[in-house]
Structure 1
Amino acid sequence: MQPFYFHALLTLSLLATLSLGQSTGATTPPSGNSMTANTTTITTSSSSSLFSKLPTQDQIVTNTATTPLETGMAFFYNIARGFINAIHTQELPYGVLRELIKARTTSQLQAVWDLNYEKIIHYELVFAILGGIGIVAAFTFVIVGITFCTLRCCGMCGSEMMQARGKNFRCKGICYGIFLVIFSLLAIGGAITCFLSSAQLAETVQKVDVTLRNGLVDVTNYQTVTSNQFTILLDNDFNITMSRVRRYISDSGIETTVGIPLKGMIQNRTDPVVQILTQLSSDNIAANMTLQKINSQLSQLNANMTELNITINAIKANLTRLETACSCSSSVQFNISSLFVIFDASKMPSLQPVSDVIKNVSDRQPLKISGEINNRTAKIPKQVVNETKSARQKISTQLTSLDTIRRSALSYISFIRNFNITSYVNPAINALQKEKKEYDVYVVAGYMVYSGILMLFPGLIILGLFFGILGRKADAAPTERGLMSNAGGIFLMASVGLMFIFAFFYLFINASFFMIGGNMQRAACHPIKNGSIYRQVIDNETVWGGYPIAGFLLQNDTIPLTATRILNECQKDNSLYSTFLLAYRFNITKELDIQRLLPNITAEVDKIVIPTPNITLLSSQNNRTLQESLNNNATKINTTEIDAILSIRTTSINLVDYANRLEADTNSTSVANDVRQVAQELRILNSGKVAAINQLKTSLQTNVNKLETEIMALRSDIRVLLDRAKVADNYIKASFHTDAKNLVKTIATQIGNEAKEYANYVKNKISNDVGKCFVLRNVYDNAVNVVCDFLQDAINGVWCAVGICAICFIPNIIFGVKLAKYYRRMEKEHPYDKNAMDAYYDTGYMHAEKPKMV
């Protein structure tokens, strides 16, 4: 059994240590871990949609081992624990233990022992005393048994096969039987408890094997998941960040970030110019059309006036002829001199300056200018892309330096991926398999035979009581007792003999188990469970000249990594990075300090120069011509003068009135018919040509007023165009470069923001989520549970159960020997008074005299 326990405890300790030290994987939270599955289920979770989802270890294989408190043995095991805690309240002599560890040579060890052996003896004194009492009791039983057998062989100690029946004979027999039943039942209970405890002890091998295998699976899965988490963070997510960064300096990125915003900024200034150019073109076209109408109407008016003059002159000539031919009285007056044309179209002011303005505007081709402005503005994004290509290529090359972060980080955590835990645990599992085969023999030959023999003692007593009670007759003489009664007595004596024979063995084993179980509880499990062994010894840097766990895991024993910290942090399900103080080996803040790499990128960004776009709003000639047109007061139309001219009557007199009067005056003359014909011509002239001329004058007056409004609008358009063109030109020449530089700087800002976001994300994940180590605490707790609950309670149960049986040995031997004579058939009767004895049986105990011995 010693080789098995040596390998089992060594292996469990190794697994617990390795479980504390593995740097791998996500974990099951303390509040909701599922521990029933036999496979590791990988799920994903992420705090940011920008990056890859991290795998998590949602289920763990290791089940919490069934503790004795869950097997119905809680009360019994608590008694055993309570007894040990009551008799032994001392803590381990940690000072001595620290000195022994610090000793490096045999002489140093001897010196420490010479100085402190009394403390060690004092610590073990209680167990030594009680163990010694057990061993003394074992030898005492041997001596008493030998003495008893010797005396019996010499005819002493009740060896005579005859029995004297006194006054309380029957009462004593009943009392002996009751006491024997009580102590036998206690012994049976102890034997059953010993059987259960031994069975639990036999299961320990299987528990250790399952614990090792499940723990190895969990820790390996933890190692795999955590390694994958680091790979995703430092490889996949890094590549995602780099692709996003490179997108900012790509053609599409620079076009979106710089080109299009610059185009928008210029358009904010050029669009008003384009708008007013369009308006100017429209207003100019309208004014030109109105001017053409006016010119056409003036030409028509001049033609009509010419025709009117010719007609009027012809009529006047005809009237002169008629007046000469008429022999009219002096009262008849033709008044030909009053008939003439008053309106003179030639006196109309010239509209040539207005026409010049309209022509100048038309010659400038405002729509063509606006189209050119739009075309050049639309080309700005592509121009930015082409002008920055060389500088962006240098920035892209510079960004590759960021890859050093990933390589550096991966090199620091490579020990997680490369650590081969199976090389540590598999030899222990293989050794355990060999021990398990040998231990199976112990299962059959050990606890079953061991517990079976212990059950045999009270079993024989109960069997003896059963046969003795069934076969005994109260009125039968001792020499006349039946076969069953005699067999009952023999069974009782057989149990007594077996107890004497096996007492030494059981008491010696019991003392050994007590000392093993007591020391395991007080010297091992109690310090482990309350953590004092870690605080006082394992975590004490003065003992080891540093921190041993940090030296083993981080290859640096100056890092204050302690078992206590690991256990506490893993109980809280904290991350691998914070739990194992990996900041001492891989400082996230330092390694992911993107700012130290950004200055080079910023310097390259500062070298990007975007030239001023070749956008000409108004050429100098156009600007000068429009400015002159605007400053020329001749372009203003004098509508007052034109209205005054156009308001003059066409003829000096009303032709109709003149015709009527002339016709009336000459009605009785010889030329009346001819005059009547001339009068009719005047009426026709008035309703025709004169009316047409008057209509033209009215329309012309309307169009002149319209032209004045349009020319005013045109002048306003020119003024606004000149102002807006000036603003746009000033922006392009003075402010465009600054805005372009600011937009270029946003590239560095965006790259910096992406890098910072990635760095912060990785810091947060590594510090809080990667490698949550509750699974390691679960493996550790399970290993401790197997040793310090399952195994320890089984050992304590064995010695406690055997102790109960051993305590029952003494009363069972005493009452078994005494009660055996009440059941066994005596060889001869004891000398007594026949008549007195008969009276004794006839009248009863209370009224009969005890038979007198002869």
Structure 2
Amino acid sequence: MLWTRWLVLLLCWGATSGEPQAHERDAAPSEVQSDSRRQPSLPRAEPLDFGFVPAAVYDTHAYYEPGAISILFHMVHAFLYVVQPNTFPEDLIVKVIQQNMGGIKLEEWRKPENVVLLLQWIYYEAGFLICATIGILFVVLTPIIGMCFCVCRCCENCGGEMHQRQRKNADCQRGFYTASLIVTTVFITVGVLIAYAANHNMSNQIKSTRRFINTNIRDLKTFANNTPAQIEYLTTQYTSAKNKVLSDLDNIGPLLGGRIHSQLEKEVVPSLDTALRMAGAMRETKEALENISSSLEVLQEGTGKLQASLSTERASLSNTLSDPACTNGAVSHTCNTIRSTLSKLGISADFSRLPDVSHALANVNTVLRTDLSNIVQKGYSSFNDTPKLVKEQTRNIVSAVKGILDKIGTEIISFSKMIPVESSLANFTVFINTGQKKIESYYPQIDQMDFYRWIGCVAMLCMVVLVLAFNILGLLCGTCGYDKQATPTTRGCLSNTGGNLLMAGVGFSFIFVWVLMGVVSTLFVVGGNVEKLMCEPLANRQLFKIIDTPFLVHPAKKNFLPALLFQNSNIDLTLGSMYRECHDNNGLYHALQLETMFNINSFLNRTVYNKDLAKLFESVQVDLQGITLLEPAGRDNLINFANSGIGQIDYDAYLDEVNKGVTLVDLLSFSADLEVQADQLPRGALENALKGHASSIRQIHRELVVAMEQTMKYVRARSTLSQSIKLLQRMSSDLPVKVTNILSAIDAAEYLIIHNASHVVKQETKGYSQALVGYFKQYTKWVKNSLSEEVAQCKPISNIVDSMEIVACSFIIDSVNTFWFGLGGCCILLIPSIIFSVKLAKYYRRMDTEDVFEDMGNTGYHGEQVCNGNLTVDRYEPCSLYLHAAVFIDGGMLLSTHRTKCAT
């Protein structure tokens, strides 16, 4: 059993990477669920691909299909079911074993419980007992009856007298006996063929048993040779988990720092974005102020020129209208009309009254000397350096974790080298090879014994075949030599030989049948009970329930299998459960429940799940106080911009003037109307003067008004003056409040980073640590699943059990039962064969005397005598034979016969 212990220890070592501590296994899931509810964004460990454990390919196919002979097997099973229809007595067998019936003394049989068990057992075996009793009676009575039959025939009784009485239905009787003997012979022949087929099948299957032995031994070798490679593969796959952890540790900045960054950016980035937008607003404010300032200078200058030009032109036009020519009736009306419109020649928008924005522009230019955008970008950069900051601050922890992981790998390798796996399995292989050689050394003896068995069975069948030969030859000779015209005393030699052969068959039947029945009864009792008590319960696995009954083997040992393997009977390991696991080709570790024998958690505590590693993960601290979102210069810049004075500008006044027209009237329309009215005047100096004024007004519009309108409409080809004013108005509204909100948001973000980020860091660090531990959990879970399903797959063990069942039950027991079934049928049918042969032999054998029938009144008989009304006919032959004297009355009916001796 040394190799078994080493193998168990080997598999235990393979399981050392199996699963975490019980308290971690139970507590961790609840903690993870709780954390996931609080922080759904915790990262999970990526699924690892550990590949496939090198699979062992087993050659044994423990399946047997008997073929055509299965019909005979089913017939025997049906017969045994008729003999023994009771279900398997599981409880009865358990009680018998527990009562130790074999060790009960004679006086203890009278105890009530033992009597009950005995009666129950007799009831279960009733069918076999009845059949066995019949067989015993057959064996005992057959030779006695045969002896009595021989003595009786020697005394010329029981059909022994060589005289055959003549019957009217003699032909019918002979035909009936002939047909019955033929049918009986055919059935006996079928029984012989069945027995011979079973005998031949057993020899063939015993030879094929070597295939099962060879494949099972080869599978055991495969099991022994492949298991170290499988365990080594489990060990080496620790490197996969380790490399993944190392990769995550090397990327702790992007992984952990990135997670921290993503959690904090929800508060930080919006505040920086508002500050950056404010920096853009500063530049837009400057541009708008510059537009207003430049436009205001142009408009004020143009307004002065326009007002002077319009005043001069209005005065000149007024002088022209003062001409005496305007006093005439028709002309005066036109002149008066023109004179009434002179007041419209003036400016509408007076930009000279608008306040100057140069002071606010100067303040904004002073604010823009500080590049707020650059300061905000520094804040972005500082915050985006969180992964780098995390990596720098955890550099020592990462180095320490790498050292522990290397130490864990070294411990696993060292532990694997502590157990002589290869030497143990080499010894196991040597043991298998030695066992195989021993088994193969018995092959010649097995073949020889099987040959003797085959010869013995054939010899028994030859006994029946001898009887069949006599019957068949007797039937052939008797039937072919039978002559209806011949009297019993004159039958031919061939017919007489047929009768003698039939009687010879009867004699050999009495000689052999009781011996054959004794063999049949013995094989029936043994083979039938083995089939019902061993093979059937083994096929439906009820036998395992008996073997696995607690305290069956020993009162102090609950389960015998763990007591045998591990010296601990309290382990819940049964032969049935082990067989089921192995039949499903699961690992021997799971089949033997080795997890109950070895404390794997202690190894895990020292290696993968040690406290030092947990402490290192818990000691991860990230200090984000070095992150600065907005420098003091940026704060001052925002405050100065709020106090730049853009909020004090009267934007409504600007909008009012801008929305007004440049002049009170459209000069082009005014000049056109003036020309129209001049055309109404008589031709002369007045007309020409008015048209000259119209041309001057049109020139003023072209030179001054158009330029001013262009200035108001387009400011540096970007926007209108109105748009710039509205932009400034919108920007300046609540500007101090906006700046205050921006500064408050940045302060809140910085406060979160400096003071409250520890919670975020703790959560993300915990998630990161759980992700790292998750890789080891995946590894241990994979190892456990591999140990349960793929490593040391114990299919060869169940194959051995199945092969033993096939060899013992399908090859041997079924053949043995089929043999006695066929031979037993022959023995039973030999009884009617004897009867029919004896009856039929009378019709084929030559008789010594015969019956003579003659009518009353016939003459010619020698020595006629009449006595008391009876006619006595005596015939005397010159021979030493006995003659029968027949006495007839009324029509020749035979009344009596007398035996007389012939005269010499």
Q: Which amino acid aligns with 1:445?
A: I
Three-state SS of the structure 2 residue aligned to 1:516 is: helix
Counterpart in 2 of 1:82? Answer: 82
Aligned to 2:388: 382
The answer to whether 1:603 aligns with 2:624 is no
The answer to whether the 8 A contact 2:164-2:849 is kept is: no
Question: 1:603: how far off?
Answer: 3.4
* 1:671 alignment partner in structure 2: none
User: What is the CA distance between 1:207 and its match in structure 2?
Assistant: 5.4
Change (3 A) 1:512 1:279: same
Give 1:538 deviation, angstroms. Answer: 5.3
Partner residue of 2:188?
Answer: 187
Change (3 A) 1:499 1:708: closer
Distance (whole Å) between structure 2 residues aligned to residue 90 and residue 380 of structure 1: 74
Q: Which residue is 1:506 aligned to?
A: 516
* 1:728 matches 2:743: no
Counterpart contact for 2:164–2:488, Cα < 8 Å: no
> Aligned residue pairs: how many?
743
Equivalent position amino acid for 2:639 in 1:
Q
Indicate which of 768, 789, 813 corresponds to 1:747. Answer: 768
1-side partners of 2:100 and 2:844: how far apart?
A: 63
In 2, are the aligned partners of 1:457 and 1:498 still within 8 Å (CA)?
yes
- What's the CA shift for 1:200? 3.4
Q: Secondary structure at the match of 1:597?
A: coil
> Structure 1 CA distance, aligned partners of 2:224 and 2:529?
35
In the aligned structure 1, how far is the partner of 2:91 from the partner of 2:615? 66
Specify the code of the residue in structure 1 equivalent to 2:164: R
Task: Give the Cα–Cα distance (whole angstroms) in 2 for the partners of residues 203 and 839 of structure 1.
Answer: 67
Question: Comparing 765-774 with 746-755, which one deviates more in the overlay?
Answer: 765-774
> What SS class does the counterpart of residue 254 from structure 2 fall into?
helix
In structure 1, what is the equivalent of residue 397 of structure 2? 391
In structure 2, runs of 5+ residues without a counterpart are 1-6, 13-46, 316-348, 664-689, 716-720, 853-873, 878-882
Q: Structure 1's 778 and 693: CA in aligned 2 closer, same or farther, altered over 3 A?
A: same
Counterpart Cα distance in 1 of 2:728 and 2:590: 82
Provide, for residues 379-425 of structure 1, a one-character-per-residue CA deviation record: whole Å limited to 9, x for no partner: 44334333333222323444567767999999999899897694697
- TM alignment of 1:98-137, pairs within 5 A: 98=98, 112=104
Change (3 A) 1:618 1:825: closer
Question: How far is 1:262 from its partner?
Answer: 0.8
SS in 2 for 1:792: helix
SS at match of 1:468: helix
Aligned residue runs from structure 1 range 15-414, under 5 A: 52=51, 61-66=61-66, 70-83=70-83, 94-95=94-95, 97-98=97-98, 112=104, 156-157=155-156, 163-168=162-167, 170=170, 176-206=177-207, 208-214=209-215, 234-235=234-235, 239-251=239-251, 254-259=253-258, 262=261, 264-265=265-266, 266-294=268-296, 351-399=357-405
Whether contact under 8 Å (1:191, 1:802) holds in the other structure is yes
Q: 1:572, 1:774 within 8 Å by CA — same for their partners in 2?
A: yes
Q: Is the CA contact 2:491–2:844 (under 8 Å) kept in the aligned structure 1?
A: yes
Tell me what 2:321 maps to: none
Query: Is the Cα–Cα contact under 8 Å of residues 617 and 725 in structure 1 kept in the other structure?
Result: no
Residue identity in the other structure for 1:499: S
How many angstroms apart in 2 are the aligned matches of 1:87 and 1:718?
A: 99
* Residue in 2 that maps onto 1:802: 823
Q: Output the amino acid matched with 1:74.
A: H
Q: Aligned residue for 2:471?
A: 461
Structure 1 residues 726 and 617, CA gap change in structure 2 (3 angstroms)? farther
1:200-223 superposed Cα distances (whole Å, 9 cap, x missing partner)? 333441354444445556777788
- Shift of the 71–800 alpha-carbon distance from structure 1 to 2, 3 Å rule, reads closer
| Contact residue 468 and residue 823 of structure 1 kept, 8 A | yes
Structure 1: which amino acid aligns with 2:272?
Answer: T
Given that 1:592 and 1:759 are in contact with CA atoms closer than 8 Å, whether structure 2 keeps it comes out as no
SS at match of 1:784: helix
SS in structure 1 of the partner of residue 553 of structure 2: helix
Deviation at 1:551, TM superposition (A): 3.1
Q: Secondary structure at the match of 1:799?
A: helix
CA change 1:752–1:160 in 2 (3 A) is closer
CA distance in 1, matches of 2:786, 2:566: 21
Structure 2 matches for 1:645-660, cutoff 5 A?
none
d(CA) in 1 for partners of 2:610, 2:90 = 62
TM value normalised by structure 1? 0.67
Contact 2:72 2:818 in 1 (8 A): no
SS at match of 2:163: coil
1:273 to partner: Cα distance? 2.1
Paired position in structure 2 for 1:43:
none
- Equivalent residue for 2:642? 630
Cα gap change, 1:743 to 1:710, in 2 (>3 Å):
same
The answer to whether the aligner puts 1:584 opposite 2:596 as a matched pair is yes
Contact preservation (8 Å) 2:192, 2:465: yes
- Is the CA contact (8 Å cut-off) linking 1:76 and 1:797 kept in structure 2? yes
Provide the C-alpha distance between the structure 2 equivalents of 1:581 and 1:501, rounded to a whole number of angstroms. 62
CA gap of 1:360–1:295, structure 2 versus 1, over 3 A, is farther
Shift of 1:588: 8.3
Deviation at residue 816 of structure 1 after TM alignment: 3.5
Deviations 1:36-81 (A, max 9, x none): xxxxxxxxxxxx8855457698997221343898334533442245
User: 1:472 Cα shift?
Assistant: 1.6
State the distance in 1 between where 2:792 and 2:761 align: 46
Return the alpha-carbon distance in structure 2 between the equivalents of residues 348 and 129 of structure 1: 137
Matched-pair contact (CA < 8 Å) for 1:218–1:775 = yes
Q: SS of the counterpart of 2:61?
A: coil
Structure 2 residue corresponding to 1:793, chosen from 814, 838, 845: 814
2:560 matches 1:548: yes
Checking the alignment, whether the CA contact within 8 Å between 2:184 and 2:829 is kept in structure 1 is: yes
The AA in structure 2 aligned to 1:262 is H
Shift of 1:727: 1.6
Relative distance call for 1:352 and 1:247 in structure 2 (3 A) is same
Letter of the aligned partner of 1:61 in structure 2?
A: H
Separation (CA, whole Å) in 2 of partners of 1:639 and 1:140: 142
Alignment deviations for residues 510-550 of structure 1 (CA, whole Å, 9 cap, x no partner)? 34323432442455446656766554555342533422212
- Where does 1:461-500 land on structure 2 (aligned, <5 Å)? 461-478=471-488, 480-500=490-510
Aligned counterpart, 2:530? 520
* Equivalent residue letter for 1:366: L
CA apart distance, 1:270:
2.0
Q: Which residue of structure 1 lines up, in the alignment, with residue 667 of structure 2?
A: none
> How far does the alpha carbon of each residue in 1:664-702 deviate from its partner, in whole angstroms, 9 at most, with x for none?
xxxxxxxxxxxxxxx999999999899978888888888
- 2:571 aligned with 1:559: yes
TM-fit CA distance, 1:294: 4.3
Contact 2:503 2:838 survives alignment (8 Å): yes
CA pair 87-117 structure 1, distance change in 2 beyond 3 A: farther
Shift in alpha-carbon separation, 1:766–1:115, aligned structure 2, 3 A: farther
Encode CA deviations 1:597-641: one digit per residue, 9 max, x unaligned: 386545323433334375655543453354245235587335688
Q: Hey, what's the Cα distance between the residues in 2 that align with 1:743 and 1:237?
A: 28
Residue 783 (structure 1) aligns with: 804
**Partner in structure 2 of residue 31 of structure 1:** none
Q: Contact between 1:539 and 1:563, CA under 8 Å: does it hold in 2?
A: no
The residue type paired with residue 730 of structure 1 is: A
**In structure 2, C-alpha distance between the alignment counterparts of 1:112 and 1:516, rounded to whole Å:** 23
Q: 1:447 aligns with which of 457, 481, 488?
A: 457
> What is the RMSD of the two structures over their aligned residues, measured on CA atoms?
6.1
Structure 1 gap ranges (5+): 1-17, 24-47, 102-108, 316-342, 651-678
Please say if residues 199 and 457 of structure 2, whose CA atoms lie closer than 8 Å, have aligned partners that are also in contact: yes
Deviations 1:132-158 (A, max 9, x none): 875776576667767877898xx7557
